[in-house]
Structure 1
Amino acid sequence: MTRRRKPTVRVAHRPDGWVLPDFTDLADCTTNFHREQDGRPACTGTAVWKVVEDHGMHLTIGFYCDADLPAEHRPQDAA
């Protein structure tokens, strides 16, 4: 049996948003795909978080506004 390793996750914040690779616009919130499937309106917030998950053979990159950033990727508040 092979074990799956947890992906290495890097989270970065850019207050002005993330520019698309072709420099045409800012990245939309990754959750828009799921919102469309659920019948919810598209996110209009600026995607200020970039989450990169390194799975070894491939990377998964997501862009999120403050409200849609998954809880597991939120920075921990300093105690």
Structure 2
Amino acid sequence: MDAIHDHDGPEVRIFHRPAGWVLPDYTDLADCTTNYHRAQDGRPACTGIAVWKVVEDHGMHLTIGFYCDADLPAEHQPATTPAV
């Protein structure tokens, strides 16, 4: 886990789970958060496994996103690539 705190923005915590992230109701694995934007842009949905969870602590609320390796935002990329 990496924790990044920028005084101009939220505290960000990044978690990696190679097997993917299970939904809170345990019905399936989480889809990439980017699927919402992909649908708006007319792009196909991401079919990769969401192996990254990005938690942004805004003080009064949390924002949680799930991403596959290819869709992890550049600002959240790890300094080194984890071993497979």
What is the TM-score when the length of structure 2 is the normalising length?
Answer: 0.86
Q: Give the gaps of 5 or more residues in structure 1.
A: none
Q: 1:73 and 2:76 equivalent?
A: yes
Ranked by relative contact order (alpha carbons within 8 Å, sequence separation 6 or more), the top structure is 1
CA-based RMSD: 1.4
For 2:40, the equivalent position in structure 1 comes to: 37
Alignment size in residue pairs? 75
- Which residue of 12, 33, 51 maps to 1:9? 12
Q: Give, as a single letter, the amino acid of the residue that structure 1 aligns with 2:25.
A: D
Greater CA radius of gyration, 1 or 2? 1
SS of equivalent to 1:35: helix
What is the TM-score when the length of structure 1 is the normalising length?
Answer: 0.91
Q: Give the C-alpha shift of residue 5 in structure 1.
A: 4.0
Alignment of 1:54-65 (within 5 A): 54-65=57-68
- Which residue of 27, 42, 63 maps to 2:30? 27
Extract structure 1 runs of 4+ deviating beyond 2 A: none
